[in-house]
Structure 1
Amino acid sequence: MPTKRQLIEKGAKFMLYSLPLMFIGPSVIYNAFINKQNIWHYLVLAIGIFICLSAVYLLFKGIKTITDALFQS
């Protein structure tokens, strides 16, 4: 069983990985809406939505890992 410090570091890493995705995802979605005449519009939009959902998932996984480390018995 990992120590509390290792779990907190693991949660912080998850949150750190989500940080760039929080900026890249909306930029990709914005780019998709600007280039609606392009044939790749829906593919770029789907990739942008996937990046945003990945950022949210990693953020919540990091928060859950940190809270588990702080409040474990």
Structure 2
Amino acid sequence: MSTKRTNKDVLVLGLKRLAIAIVLLFAGPTLLYVVVSNKEKPFYIPLLIISLLICALAIYFIFKGIKTLISSVFD
């Protein structure tokens, strides 16, 4: 009889993705706040796009990390 065990390699990958998401969760909104408070600067639009992409990447890594964690436990 085979017992189901957690795939540790996939679990570590999921935890790494969540760690990246945490860093991006702090970096994205912080950069967005700095950009929005300085609208008269010449790099307003490029930095605004970059900060919004960082926020979107944070959401992506959250979902991928949770999905990876769940698949490591239940597959």
Give the aligned partner of residue 16 of structure 2. 13
Deviation string 1:9-61 (CA, Å, 9 cap, x unpaired) is 11001001111110110011111111111121111110100111111111111
Give the aligned partner of residue 27 of structure 2. 24
TM-score w.r.t. the length of structure 2 is 0.86
TM-score w.r.t. the length of structure 1 is 0.89
Partners of 2:24 and 2:41 in 1: CA distance: 24
- 1:38 partner SS: coil
Question: Runs of at least 4 residues of structure 1 off by over 6 A?
Answer: none
Aligned mate of 2:59, from 49, 56, 61: 56
Structure 2 unmatched ranges of 5 or more: 1-5
Question: Which structure has the bigger radius of gyration?
Answer: 2
Please provide the CA RMSD for this pair.
Answer: 1.1
